[in-house]
């Protein structure tokens, strides 16, 4: 067996600029093929085939790679090499219709194949590498799937991304597979701040870390305690809680395995550090009502920074809980509703059941979702037909209401 066979089962690979810049290679990646570009060859790993003993094994298809600048052009030939053995049909007979030659073939330094295939399409050439690769994959995997219907070359490996290419440590294949990468790029703001990492704030963070924001600055001086863990994303372990972490450091560690650029600030925002928010492109507020919030809102308006404030009021109704979730947006063009209609409460609510640490993770989550959806509307990710700047959700009546629409 060729030396590449073990490599065919690797479950992650590095992103390559050529894949991102070539629609045919990007399509192969998005469809789940495990690609590698090495020595100017295109490698497709974990391709199932049948051995002479009628067992399903996996090998690597190796193709020449024709390029012009930073993208591919039409393949220069219809031939590929194969590392992994001699593929057979479901009866164990070699695929002589496509096998062109056999024997160890030094394709490039460190790249040895076992045979070559030649299957020319009716028009005489393959239009692109998606057509070329999928054709050969189907020729090999078809017999394999007769023996093992689950055999597939579409393994959707994790694609690691170089630091200079993305804030993410692996490729955002969710956006590329859905063909919405250009829309997702609208959310690539340089710096966003999140003030407050309580229940709602932690769920806001959980959502925005999955967007291409360059830096996410989180502000909260509080410790993460057990009661916080019950209204937060993920699951904190006993060991993590025993370490008495600050919220900002706990969440930084949680998400750094997925992305870069989370900047923890284990402090509350006040007069001593408010100027740090001048550098932000956008700010989320998820903090308790009171003079501190009023101060921050006033300063954000002075700095000309758009922001969203999320909050809720939960109260007891007999032996049940009722309440209202609220999302207030404010942009430099539309500020007056905040004050004229009192859309952000600035007083301390002593009777708010939520301040007694009732565990309402579902309400925190919904409040965060409404806030992030509005943020995405502001930047054109989602269609915005009402242009509302104020939204409430009433629990008892299951009512979602919009107000303060802008022209």
**Token pair of 121 as six digits:** 């399409």
- Distance CA(26)–CA(150), nearest Å, equals 24
Q: What is the pLDDT of residue 353?
A: 43
**Contact present, 343 and 401 (Cβ < 8 Å):** no
| Phi, psi of 234, rounded to the nearest 5 degrees | 75, -165
Per the structure block, which two tokens stand in for 262?
């989370």
Q: If we measure between CA atoms, which residue out of 56, 134, 45 comes closest to residue 88?
A: 56
Please say whether the beta carbons of 72 and 127 come within 8 A: no
Q: What is the signed CA dihedral for 276, 279, 284, 285, rounded to 10 degrees?
A: 30
Query: Exposed (0-12), middle (13-18) or buried (19+): which is 78, by Cβ within 10 Å?
Result: middle
| Residue 181 confidence (pLDDT) | 79
DSSP 28: H
Q: φ and ψ at 131, to 5 degrees?
A: -65, -45
Query: Hey, what are 323's tokens?
Result: 């309440």
pLDDT at 6: 31
Residues of the chain with CATH 3.40.50.720: 173-403
Instruction: Check if the beta carbon of residue 172 is closer than 8 Å to that of residue 184.
Output: yes
DSSP per residue over 146-176, as a string?
A: HH-TT--SB---EEE--TTT-SBSB--HHHH
Instruction: Give SS3 for 21.
Output: helix
Predicted local confidence at residue 10, as pLDDT: 37
Distance, CA of 143 to CA of 137 (rounded, Å): 11
Q: At CA 267, angle to CA 264 and CA 270, rounded to 5? A: 125
Query: How much is the pLDDT for 78?
Result: 96
392 with 324: CB under 8 angstroms? Answer: yes
Classified as helix, coil or strand, 322 is strand
The answer to whether domain 173-403 has CATH 3.90.79.10 is no
pLDDT (0 to 100) of residue 161: 72
Give CA–CA dist 214/212, Å, rounded.
6
- pLDDT tens, residue order, the chain (407 aa): 333 333 333 344 556 788 888 999 999 999 999 999 887 789 999 999 999 999 999 999 999 988 887 889 999 999 999 999 999 999 999 999 999 999 998 887 678 899 999 999 999 999 999 999 999 999 999 999 999 999 999 999 988 776 667 899 887 877 766 768 789 999 999 999 999 999 999 999 999 999 999 999 999 999 999 999 999 999 999 999 999 999 999 999 999 999 999 999 999 999 999 999 999 999 999 998 788 999 999 999 999 999 999 999 888 889 999 999 999 999 999 999 999 999 999 875 554 443 444 568 999 999 999 999 999 999 999 999 999 999 999 999 999 999 999 98
CB distance 298 to 355 below 8 Å = no
pLDDT at 37: 86
Structure tokens at 274: 């408010």
Which pLDDT belongs to residue 180?
A: 83
Q: Residues 309, 311, 314, CA angle at the centre, nearest 5°?
A: 170
Quick check: 308 and 355 in contact, CB under 8 A?
no
CB-based contacts of 65: which residues, under 8 Å, 6+ apart?
Answer: 18, 37, 40, 41, 42, 72, 129
Q: How far apart are CA 385 and CA 70, in angstroms?
A: 39
Return the pLDDT at 303: 98
């Amino acid at each position: 067996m060729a030396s590449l066979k073990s490599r065919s089962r690797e479950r992650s690979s590095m992103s390559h600029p050529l894949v991102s810049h070539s629609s045919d290679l990007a399509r192969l990646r998005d469809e789940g093929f495990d690609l590698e570009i090495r020595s100017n060859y295109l490698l497709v790993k974990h391709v199932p085939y049948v051995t002479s003993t009628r067992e399903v094994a996996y090998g690597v298809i190796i193709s020449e790679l024709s390029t012009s600048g930073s993208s591919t052009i039409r393949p220069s030939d219809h031939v590929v090499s194969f590392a992994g053995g001699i593929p057979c049909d479901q009866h164990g007979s070699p695929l002589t219709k496509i096998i062109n030659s056999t024997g160890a073939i030094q394709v490039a330094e460190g790249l040895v194949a076992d045979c070559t295939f030649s299957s020319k399409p009716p028009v005489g050439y393959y239009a692109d590498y998606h057509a070329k690769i999928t054709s050969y994959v189907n020729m090999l995997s078809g017999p394999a799937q007769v023996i093992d219907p689950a055999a597939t070359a579409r393994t959707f490996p994790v694609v690691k991304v170089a630091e200079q290419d993305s804030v993410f440590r692996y490729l955002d294949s969710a956006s590329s597979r859905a063909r919405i990468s250009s829309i997702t790029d609208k959310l690539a703001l340089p710096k966003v701040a999140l003030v407050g990492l309580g229940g709602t704030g932690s769920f806001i963070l959980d959502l925005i870390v999955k967007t291409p924001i360059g830096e996410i600055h989180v502000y909260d001086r509080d410790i993460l305690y057990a009661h916080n863990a019950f209204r937060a994303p993920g699951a904190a372990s006993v060991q993590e809680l025993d370490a008495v972490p600050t919220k900002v450091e706990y969440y930084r560690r949680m998400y750094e395995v997925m992305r870069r650029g989370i900047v923890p600030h284990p402090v509350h925002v006040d007069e001593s550090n408010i100027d740090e928010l001048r550098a932000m492109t956008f700010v989320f507020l998820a903090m308790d009502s009171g003079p501190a919030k009023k101060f921050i809102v006033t300063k954000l308006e002075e700095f000309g920074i758009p922001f969203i404030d999320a909050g809720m009021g939960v109260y007891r109704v007999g032996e049940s809980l009722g309440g209202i979730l609220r999302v207030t947006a404010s942009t430099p063009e539309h500020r007056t509703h905040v004050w004229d209609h009192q859309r952000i409460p600035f007083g301390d609510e002593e009777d708010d059941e939520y301040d007694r640490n009732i565990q309402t993770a579902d309400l925190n989550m919904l409040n965060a979702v409404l806030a992030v959806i509005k943020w995405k509307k502001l930047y054109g990710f989602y269609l915005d037909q009402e242009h509302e700047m104020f939204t409430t959700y009433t629990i008892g009546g299951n009512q979602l209401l919009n107000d303060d629409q802008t022209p």
